[in-house]
């Protein structure tokens, strides 16, 4: 087992990794920008190294700075968290070239899944059901129009290299195609340096259901059921739950096995998520994330496993402890993402936290790097905390979420907490009757935004 690992991230996910490592007796190294010198992840880790100025490209995304930090501290492995370098195949290659271990999948798997067309082709060949659409990239507007007519409108045009909800445009009718096609290409080019796009049938009332998988890199893999992440704003998740309110045990077993077999087949190592849209009882693959997800705690809650511990174990070459036969679901879990944002426009709201009080009690987990007096820097993501609750069933989890949100105090900045108070009064949220468009409609009606 490693003696020391470096965490190439910040905020709550860096703390999350420190916690797992500490329970395993592994020392931790935090890296930070000058803007994060006072950050909680720096305080909690055993050692820390300043790797550059506030802007991420010069710090959290600086491969030379991170490798140097490993060399200076003697860290043997790097946990990338999510975001930043977590899905950067080039980084993984450099890590390996320096004789260090990347706690995550291989560069090759990241490369395959990072290109959405290759990912879809690979999954299709592995027997995973996909959304109907173009066969690979679509080069010209004429091709796009022809494919739109073939598969039938509405369609969605997606940047091959896209992510985080960017580089996707819907064409409701043939008349929208030109604008949607050109915009998706331009966004792909400017955000991801790649203007290749592909086309999919736009599903009108799907849910977002994703399957957690975990592989040992040697042909064995398990699934840990699904998460329903349908409540989204601008294709970004805000509320996630497991198990999915609409998924039966038989469906879970069926799609779970397809996913576990697929990743076992490619000798996938570590944690991964296979994302689907789910409509009328059918699953349609959209993408695979080759990393730990923000919403992984809801899965941990219902299965009672520590996914980060498992990641570290298999990266160190130890056998995977997870066994499909002994994985069983216990109760229901919900996560809400608390962002430092001002409603109704969700504009980022960095600033100083004058008072912070985390909720507690049975079935409550608060993953956050906040503390009294902390100043949220303006340079990074606006996620400041994840409130995760667990109950014996969905109604109990909802009641617990309501209770815990009432205890939470975050003063000094605006947050998305009022959104969750409001959502918990909605019959559709209480009954689980929502799809990927529900929240956008609700926001338009209720916040006018």
Q: Which residues form the catalytic set?
A: 291
Q: How far is the CB of 235 from ligand ADP (least distance, A)?
A: 4
Write out the DSSP string of 7-39. Answer: E---HHHHHHHHHHHHHTT-EEEEEEEGGGTT-
Q: How far is the CB of 155 from ligand ADP (least distance, A)?
A: 8
Q: How far is the CB of 51 from ligand ADP (least distance, A)?
A: 27
Q: How far is the CB of 166 from ligand ADP (least distance, A)?
A: 6
- Report the SS3 class of residue 67: helix
Rounded Cα gap, residues 435 and 10, in angstroms: 32
Please write down the long-range contacts of 435-443, taking CB distance under 8 Å and 24 or more positions apart: 435/205, 435/206, 435/207, 435/230, 436/206, 436/207, 436/208, 436/230, 436/232, 436/277, 437/204, 437/205, 438/230, 438/231, 439/231, 439/232, 439/233, 439/238, 439/239, 440/232, 440/233, 440/234, 443/233, 443/344
Binding span for ligand ADP by CB under 6 A among 58-66, 162-170, 179-187, 323-331: 162-170
Binding span for ligand ADP by CB under 6 A among 161-169, 220-228, 371-379, 386-394: 161-169
Q: Which run of H or of E encompasses 333? A: strand 332-339
Binding span for ligand ADP by CB under 6 A among 10-18, 157-165, 173-181, 401-409: 157-165
Binding span for ligand ADP by CB under 6 A among 64-72, 143-151, 164-172, 351-359: 164-172
Between 206 and 244, CB nearer to ligand ADP: 206
Rounded Cα gap, residues 318 and 331, in angstroms: 30
Q: How far is the CB of 332 from ligand ADP (least distance, A)?
A: 21
CA distances from 232 to 88, 160, 238, 404 (A): 25, 21, 6, 22
Q: How far is the CB of 133 from ligand ADP (least distance, A)?
A: 7
Between 110 and 286, CB nearer to ligand ADP: 286
Contacts to ligand ADP from residues 227-246, by CB under 6 A: 232, 235
Rounded Cα gap, residues 283 and 213, in angstroms: 16
Q: Are the C-beta atoms of 198 and 133 separated by less than 8 Å?
A: yes
From candidates 131, 221, 222, 404, binder to ligand ADP by CB under 6 A: 131
Between 117 and 369, CB nearer to ligand ADP: 117
DSSP letter, residue 416: S
Q: Are the C-beta atoms of 365 and 390 separated by less than 8 Å?
A: yes
Q: How far is the CB of 242 from ligand ADP (least distance, A)?
A: 16
Binding span for ligand ADP by CB under 6 A among 22-30, 158-166, 248-256, 312-320: 158-166
DSSP letter, residue 138: B
Q: Print the binding letters for residues 75-94 with ligand ADP: x by CB under 6 A, - otherwise.
A: --------------------
- Interface with ligand ADP: number of residues (CB under 6 A): 20
Q: How far is the CB of 137 from ligand ADP (least distance, A)?
A: 15
From candidates 76, 187, 200, 310, binder to ligand ADP by CB under 6 A: 200
Binding span for ligand ADP by CB under 6 A among 156-164, 215-223, 326-334, 356-364: 156-164
From candidates 70, 271, 277, 320, binder to ligand ADP by CB under 6 A: 277
Q: Are the C-beta atoms of 330 and 294 separated by less than 8 Å?
A: no
202 scored as a contact of ligand ADP (CB under 6 A): yes
60 scored as a contact of ligand ADP (CB under 6 A): no
What residues contact residue 422 under an 8 Å CB cut-off, 6+ apart?
446
List, in sequence order, every residue forming a beta bridge with 269; answer none if it has no partner: 216
From candidates 54, 163, 331, 351, binder to ligand ADP by CB under 6 A: 163
* Whole-number CA gyration radius for the chain: 21
From candidates 69, 85, 112, 203, binder to ligand ADP by CB under 6 A: 203
134 scored as a contact of ligand ADP (CB under 6 A): no
147 scored as a contact of ligand ADP (CB under 6 A): no
Token look-up 């990927």 returns 436
Sign of the torsion angle spanned by Cα atoms 419, 422, 425, 428: negative
Binding site for ligand ADP (CB under 6 A): 131, 156, 162-165, 168, 200-203, 206, 208, 232, 235, 275, 277, 286-287, 436
């Amino acid at each position: 087992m490693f003696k020391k690992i470096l965490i190439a991230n910040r905020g709550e996910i860096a703390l999350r990794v420190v916690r797992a490592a500490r329970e395993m007796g592994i020392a931790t190294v935090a890296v930070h920008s000058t803007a994060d010198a006072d950050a909680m992840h720096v305080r909690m880790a055993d050692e820390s190294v300043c790797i550059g100025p506030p802007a991420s490209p010069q710090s959290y995304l600086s491969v030379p700075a991170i490798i140097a930090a490993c060399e200076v501290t003697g860290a043997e492995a790097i946990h990338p968290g999510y975001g930043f370098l977590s899905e950067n195949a080039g980084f993984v290659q450099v890590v390996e070239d320096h004789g260090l271990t990347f706690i995550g999948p291989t560069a090759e798997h990241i490369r395959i899944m990072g290109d959405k067309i290759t990912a879809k082709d690979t999954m299709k060949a592995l027997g995973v059901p996909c959304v109907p659409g173009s066969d690979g990239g679509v080069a010209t507007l004429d091709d796009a129009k022809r494919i739109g007519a073939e598969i039938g409108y509405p369609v969605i045009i997606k940047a091959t290299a896209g992510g985080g909800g960017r580089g996707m445009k819907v064409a409701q009718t043939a008349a929208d195609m030109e604008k949607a096609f050109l915009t998706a290409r331009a966004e792909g080019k400017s955000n991801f340096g790649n203007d290749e796009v592909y086309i999919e049938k736009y599903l009108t009332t799907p849910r977002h259901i994703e399957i957690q998988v975990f592989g040992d890199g040697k042909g064995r893999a398990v699934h840990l059921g699904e998460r329903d992440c349908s409540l989204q704003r601008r294709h970004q998740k805000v509320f996630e739950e497991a198990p999915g309110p609409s998924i039966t045990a038989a469906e879970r077993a069926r799609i779970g096995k397809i996913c576990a077999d697929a990743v076992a087949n490619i000798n996938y190592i570590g944690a991964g998520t296979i994302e689907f849209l789910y409509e009328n009882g059918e699953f349609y693959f959209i993408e695979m994330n080759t990393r730990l997800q923000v919403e992984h705690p809801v899965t941990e809650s219902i299965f009672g496993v520590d996914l980060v511990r498992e990641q570290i174990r298999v990266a160190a070459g130890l056998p995977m402890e997870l066994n499909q036969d002994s994985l069983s679901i216990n109760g229901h879990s919900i996560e809400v993402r608390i962002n430092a944002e001002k409603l109704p426009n969700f504009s980022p709201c960095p600033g100083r936290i004058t008072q912070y009080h985390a909720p507690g009690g049975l079935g409550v987990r608060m993953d956050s790097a906040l503390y009294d007096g902390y100043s949220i820097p303006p340079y990074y993501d606006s996620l400041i905390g994840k409130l995760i609750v667990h109950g014996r069933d969905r109604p109990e989890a909802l009641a617990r979420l309501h209770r815990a949100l009432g205890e939470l105090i975050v003063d000094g900045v605006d947050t998305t907490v009022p959104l969750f108070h409001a959502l918990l009064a909605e019959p559709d949220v209480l009954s689980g009757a929502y799809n990927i468009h529900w929240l956008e409609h609700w926001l338009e009606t209720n916040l006018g935004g």
